[in-house]
Amino acid sequence: MHTRRDVLTAAAATAALAAWSPLAAYAQPQGHSPSPQGGPLPMNPPAKSGGRFRPPGRFGLGGVAIGTGFAPLSAGQSDEVMKTAWDAGVRYFDTSPWYGLGLSERRMGHFLAGQNRDDYVLSTKVGRLMTATKNVPKVMWKAPSPFEFRIDYTADGTRRSIEDSLQRMGLARFDIVFIHDLSPDHFGEKWVEHFDVAAKGAIPTLTRLREEGVIKGWGFGVNNVEPCLRALEVADPDVFLLATQYSVVHHEQALNQLFPKCAERGASIVVGAPFNSGFLAGRERYNYRDAVPPAIREKGARIAAIAKEHGTDLRTVALQFCLAPPVVSAVIPGASTGRQVIENALSVATRLPADLWAALKREKLIAENAPTPA
For residue 170, give Cα distances in angstroms to 55, 88, 110, 112, 293. Answer: 21, 24, 8, 9, 41
| Contact indicator for 81, 66 with CB cutoff of 8 Å | yes
The model's confidence at residue 9, banded by pLDDT at 50, 70 and 90, is: very low
Q: CA-to-CA distance for 349 and 277, rounded, in angstroms? A: 21
Q: Are the CB atoms for 152 and 97 separated by under 8 Å? A: no
- Is the CB of residue 358 less than 8 Å from the CB of residue 373? no
Beta-carbon contacts of residue 129 (< 8 Å; ≥ 6 apart): 97, 149, 150, 152, 157, 160, 161, 164
Average pLDDT estimate for 270-274: 98
Q: Residues 165-180: what's their mean pLDDT?
A: 98
With CA atoms as reference, report the closest residue to 281 among 269, 290, 273, 289: 273
pLDDT digits (tens, 9 = 90+) for 306-361: 999 999 999 999 999 999 999 999 999 999 999 999 999 999 999 999 999 999 99
Report d(CA 320, CA 350) in Å as an integer: 9
Confidence (pLDDT) at 39: 58
Band of pLDDT at residue 172, cut at 50, 70 and 90? very high
Which H or E run contains 189?
none
The answer to whether 25 and 41 are in contact (CB under 8 A) is yes
Q: In this structure, is the dihedral angle defined by the CA atoms of residues 334, 339, 344 and 348, taken in order, positive or negative?
A: positive
Which spans in the chain are helix H?
10-18, 75-87, 103-112, 155-169, 184-187, 191-200, 202-211, 226-234, 252-253, 259-265, 294-309, 314-323, 338-349, 354-362
- Identify residue 351 by its one-letter amino acid code: R
Classified as helix, coil or strand, 77 is helix
**Length of the chain (residues):** 374
Contact (Cβ atoms closer than 8 angstroms) between residue 56 and residue 91: yes
pLDDT in tens, 34-92: 343 335 799 999 878 778 999 999 999 999 999 999 999 999 999 999 999 999 999 99
Tell me the catalytic residues: 99
Confidence class for position 170, pLDDT limits 50, 70, 90: very high
> pLDDT averaged over the chain?
91
**pTM listed for this prediction:** 0.91
* pLDDT over 50 (residue 27): no
CA torsion angle 60 61 64 68 (round to 10): 180
Q: What is the pLDDT of residue 5?
A: 40
Backbone φ/ψ region at 351: left (φ over 0), alpha (ψ -120 to 50), beta:
beta
8 Å CB contact between 117 and 175? no
- Domain topology for 54-362: TIM Barrel (3.20.20)
284 Rama sector, left if φ>0, alpha if ψ -120 to 50, beta otherwise = beta
Maximum Cα–Cα distance across the chain: 57
Q: From residue 328, how far is each of 97, 237, 270, 347 by CA, in Å?
A: 24, 15, 6, 17
What's the Cα-to-Cα distance from 302 to each of 276, 296, 369, rounded to whole Å?
16, 10, 19
Domains of the chain, residue spans = 54-362
